[in-house]
Structures are given as C-alpha cells and as structure tokens.
Chain A
Amino acid sequence: MSGDTTSPGRLIVGRETRPKMPPYLKLRHDAGRGRWVLLAPERVLTPDQTAVAVLQLCDGTRTVEEIAAKLAEEYSAPADVIGKDVVDMLQDLADKGYIKG
C-alpha cells in the first residue's frame, strides 16, 4: 500500500537522485551522549553510524550511486547491497520530509 503513493511533490529516490538535507534538518554531534542526533521540527532522530556516513555525503551534488560507491569502497562492502540500503533509507527519510532531491 504505502509504496503506491504518488502524491505531488513526493520525492522518489533512485540511483540518479542527488539528495540533500533541507536547512531545517540539523545533524549534530551530541558530546554529552557520545552520539549523533538529527534535529528537526518537534523531532529528534537517532541515526546509526551508517546513516551518519550517508547523510554527511548528501550534499545535493553527489548522486545516490556515487554515495553508495564511496561507502562501498570505505567499508569494503558490495556496492549493490549498499546501494539498495541507501535508497531505502533515503526514501524513508524523504517520506518524512527530511530529504529533498
């Protein structure tokens, strides 16, 4: 069901998408808790290390393909597996309004 939504303005994340974080999403290192947090209107998100690595590469110029390739190299993991994981994660964030194309 949820995959069928094609509302106007919904970003469908693909390998050619150049994702970026909107200005109201703030990725901050919380020194007191020793972890990264994402701050958004009335939300606190708790990204794991993989999510932080992806988000730090979402600068609006790199494509999802390039992000996956870079991470595959850094973590010596298969690019297609990472690519799918990155697309899924970014689509989830886009549907919550936290990633723009």
Chain B
Amino acid sequence: MTEELKGNGHIETLIVDDEPTEGVVGKEDATAELCARAPVGLLAELTHRCPLQCPYCSNPLELESVKNELTTEEWCSVMRQAGEMGILQIHLSGGEPTARKDLEDIVSAASEAGLYSNLITAAVTLKRDRLEDLKKRGLDHVQISFQDVDPIMAEKIGAYPGATQKKLEVARWVTEMGLPLTINAPIHRHNIQNVPRYIDLAVELGAQRLEIAHAQYYGWAFLNRAALIPTYEETLASIEYVEGAREKLKGVLTIDMVVPDYYAKRPKPCMGGWGKGFMNITPSGKVLPCHAAESIPELNFDNVKDRALRDIWLDSEAFNAFRGTDWMKEPCRSCAFKEIDFGGCRCQAMAITRDPRNTDPACALSPYHNEMVALAKKEAAKPATEFVYRNPRNVAKATETQDEPLVPAE
C-alpha cells in the first residue's frame, strides 16, 4: 500500500476504501485538495437485511428494520445530491444491497450523477440477468465477500448453505461481463492460515483486487472477539505473506490489507480523519462520519430526510464533534502524530475506555493499551468461543452484554 501511494511524479493515488475503518488514505496534498470541496467516498448501507449471519458483521448491534428504510426516491435523491456536492465514489452496501428490489433505480441515479459505483455483495442471491441489468445501468465495480476458501468453514461462518459455489458462479459472471472484480476476504483465527489460498483464488478468478480484511473489533466482532481474534504470530505471518505476494503479483492483482490494530504500536488513522473525506448513510437515512459512530451515545445524527446532504457534511454536530484536533485530550493533544493518525478511532476509544475523547487504546501511549493487548492475546491463546451470529434474534442478547470497562494503568 505504501508503495502504491508513492505516486510517479504525475499522478497521486488516493485509496477510497469501503472498509469502514480505512476511509480515505493518500498523500496530504492530494487528499486535502480533493476533500476541500466534499468527501470523496460515500458508503450507502441500503438495508440491514442479509442472507448471511457473519459474527464479525460491521453493522451496528441494533439492526434497522425494513419498515424504517429510505424509499427509492429518497436514495435516488441522495445519489443526485452526492454527485452535485462533489462526492466521487459510492459504495452500495448493506446488509445485502441486492435485497432491495429497487437497487436498479439507485444504480441508475448514481450513474447519472457521475458517481463511480461499487456494489458490495455477498452474491448468494444474485441472478445473472439482474447483474447484466445493473451493468447496463452503469454499475462500475463489484465486490464479493468469501467467508473462507474452504466451503465448509465458509458455510459455518455465514450460516448459509452452498454459499461458496454460488459466490464462485457470480464471480465468474462478473469477469465474463468485463466488470472489475474485488474479492473481499474477512480474516480471523478460523481462516488466517488460508491467506495464500485467497490470493490464488483471486488470481484464478481474474479479480483486479483482493482485500485481506482482518476483522476490526467493533459491534458484532467486538462481541465475538474471543471467537475471532488470531494470535500475534499468525497475524504477523499473514502480513509478511501478503507483502511478498504484492511484489510478485505487481500489475496482476492489487492487494489491500486492513490489519488488526490490537497488535499495532500506533493506531490507524481511522477514516483518514473524522469528517475529512468519507461519510456513511444508514438504511434509515442517518448520516454518520463512520459506520460505528452510533456506538458513541453523546452524538446526534442528522437524517437525509430532514436536511440537505451538503449541509450535514459541513455543519452537523456529529461531523464537527471530532473534526480536526481541538477535541483532543492528552497524550494526543501534544503528540507529534496528531495530524497523522488523529488519535486513532473514536469508537474504539468509546468501546474500551467509555470516553470517545481518549486516545485510541490501540496506541502504545494510551494507558489502556497494555491491558487491551494482554486481553486479546489471552483470548487468542484459548480455544475459540462459539459464534454469536449476527441476526435479529441475537440483537437483544448482544445489546445487553456489556463488559466492564478496562482500568487504565497508573
């Protein structure tokens, strides 16, 4: 990734990742120029309905019901506003975006608004004629998640029988139709040993991109951490393998990697900075600075039903809450890296320390860091716990399980 961002003297590259914790990454000048006008990326969670029940789902614990979803016209209006305000890329996600029968209309609206559209799908219910129609309407890119390369484990993780075969079929349609394909590989202790096979699979399918996306422990994944977190050694080995493969597959396959920050010394620059280059819209129309922002209870979110998207971006309370560096406490406030990693992730600070203004405990300077890492390593060393699957039945259970917060070091 760093090599890719070096540029060639004439062209700078910005990553506009759908991985909610990555957001917009690029050289400061190029990023600042593009983001001065508007965010460059928008993640549209069209619905929380999903045929899969993956225990690391990035949706919030409290899933939105279908009756609260935005209408077709409301989503089409979002697309038009996004294009007008200067957003460049739209990630159509969920839940499962193809669960919306009006996905075709939304894709048409995105295309007419000049947005580069990315369909992020589990693919298990997608029909060929529907994909052809979406392409005709201007869909630019398809991303398919594979829960594992091993079909039996993949079924266990997603709780969907026959998922792998169906996904392979859809992936082949995508490349046959000449659409660019990304394979998304959500990585955790049950499939981390299969990273090399994921790379082979992506090459064999003719994908342009592969996302090695180590689970990020928020929401459902936080709840399932002891069932998911790999060991430090396994994590390092997977990172090394990917770095070698990137070099070997230059010009053939782009590999993006999101690493688990529990094992890092420095926090990730979450979203490339709060309210800097990215926004997220929930199925009911709430506009969030990141997908997990609703886990911060003090924030109020504007809705596209009540306010223009551009006004929300510029002026809403939630976007301004952690913009820039004024909100920071120590050790962030006097840190030389404060404009580089922005103190890490606000939602992780909230989840672990119960104060979103604290330094992300992924940072070695956080007084919570050592305890958090020790806890993770202890969980990884024990046998995996059972999955709490992401489904409406488990929502009640998930929202009442609240662990005691960690105690900071003296």
Query: Which residues in chain B, 64-102, are within 8 Å of chain A measured between CB atoms?
Result: 85-86, 88-89
**A61 at interface (Cβ–Cβ under 8 A)?**
no
CB <8 Å contact, B209 and A41: yes
Say yes or no: A89 contacts B141, CB within 8 Å.
no
> For residues 40 through 54 of chain A, which have their beta carbon under 8 Å from a beta carbon of chain B?
40-48, 50-51, 54
A-B contact pairs, 12 of them (CB 8 A): A7-B248, A7-B251, A7-B252, A23-B178, A32-B86, A43-B14, A46-B11, A46-B13, A46-B34, A51-B10, A85-B9, A95-B251
Within 8 A of B (CB), among A1-39: 1-2, 5, 7-11, 22-24, 26, 28, 30, 32-33, 35, 37-39
State in angstroms the CA–CA spacing of A22 and B15 once bound together: 19
Q: Does any Cβ of A come within 8 Å of B311's Cβ?
A: no
Determine if A57 is an interface residue (Cβ-Cβ < 8 Å).
no
Cβ-defined contact, A33 with B15, below 8 A = no
| Min CB gap B180→A, angstroms | 4
Q: A12 to B205: give the CA distance in the assembly, Å.
A: 23
Q: How far is the CB of B58 from chain A (nearest CB, A)?
A: 16
Q: Which of B14, B17, B88, B116 has the most CB of A within 10 A?
A: B116
A88 at the interface (CB under 8 A from B): yes
Are A89 and B251 in contact (CB-based, < 8 A)? Answer: no
Most buried by A among B10, B13, B33: B10
Across the interface, A42 reaches (CB within 8 A) one of B17, B85, B247, namely: B17
Task: Tell whether A93 is near chain B: CB-to-CB under 8 Å.
Answer: yes
A78 at the interface (CB under 8 A from B): no
Given the complex, which residues of B lie within 8 Å of A44, measured CB to CB? 13-14, 16, 34, 40, 88-89
A-B contacts, CB under 8 A, total: 123
Q: For the complex, give the distance between the alpha carbons of A85 and B208 in Å.
A: 26
Interface size for A (C-beta < 8 A) is: 41
Interfacial chain A residues near B88, Cβ < 8 Å: 30, 37, 39, 44
A24 to B4, CA, bound (A): 18
Tell me the minimal C-beta distance from B33 to chain A in angstroms.
7
Nearest 8 CB-CB pairings of A with B? A10-B251, A24-B180, A92-B8, A51-B10, A39-B116, A41-B141, A9-B252, A32-B86
A residues touching B (Cβ–Cβ < 8 Å)? 1-2, 5, 7-11, 22-24, 26, 28, 30, 32-33, 35, 37-48, 50-51, 54, 85, 88-89, 92-97
Closest B-chain residue to A12, C-beta based?
B251
Query: In the bound complex, do residue A7 and residue B37 qualify as a contact, i.e. CB atoms below 8 Å apart?
Result: no
Q: Does B12 contact A (CB under 8 A)?
A: yes
Tell me if A43 and B10 are in contact (CB < 8 A).
no
Contact in complex: B118, A42 (CB < 8 Å): yes
Q: Closest residue to B88 on the A side, CB-wise?
A: A44
| Cβ–Cβ contact A96 & B248, under 8 A | no
Q: What residues of chain A lie closer than 8 Å to B261, measured between beta carbons?
A: none
Residue of B15, B140, B251, B252 with most chain A CB atoms under a 10 A cut-off: B251
B85 to chain A: which residues have CB within 8 Å?
32
User: Which listed residue (B17, B37, B179) contacts A32, Cβ 8 A?
Assistant: B37
Q: Using Cβ atoms and an 8 Å threshold, which residues of chain B touch A7?
A: 248-252
A45 to B16 CA separation, bound complex (whole angstroms): 10
B252 in complex: contacting residue of A10, A45, A51, A88, CB < 8 Å:
A10
Known: A42-B89, A44-B40. A26 touches B140 (CB 8 A): yes
Annotate B110-139 by CB proximity to A: 1 below 8 A, 0 otherwise: 000010101000000000000000000000
Cα of A9 to Cα of B253 in the assembled complex, Å: 10
Instruction: Report if A33-B208 is in contact (Cβ < 8 Å); known contacts: A39-B89, A97-B251.
Output: no
B186 to chain A, nearest CB (A): 16
Tell yes or no: B145 within 8 A of A by CB. no
Closest to A28 in B: B114
Q: Which residue of the partner chain A has the closest CB to B85?
A: A32
The smallest beta-carbon distance between A56 and chain B, in angstroms, is 13
Bound state CA distance, A7 and B37, in angstroms? 40
When distances are taken between beta carbons in the complex, the residues of chain B under 8 Å from A40 are: 116, 180
Are the C-beta atoms of B16 and A43 separated by less than 8 Å? yes
Find out whether the CB atom of B252 lies under 8 angstroms from the CB atom of A41. no
What's the nearest-Cβ distance from chain A to residue B110, in Å? 12
Is A50's CB under 8 angstroms from B13's CB?
A: no
A14 smallest CB distance to B (angstroms): 14
Determine the chain B residues whose CB is within 8 A of the CB of A92 once the complex forms: 8, 11
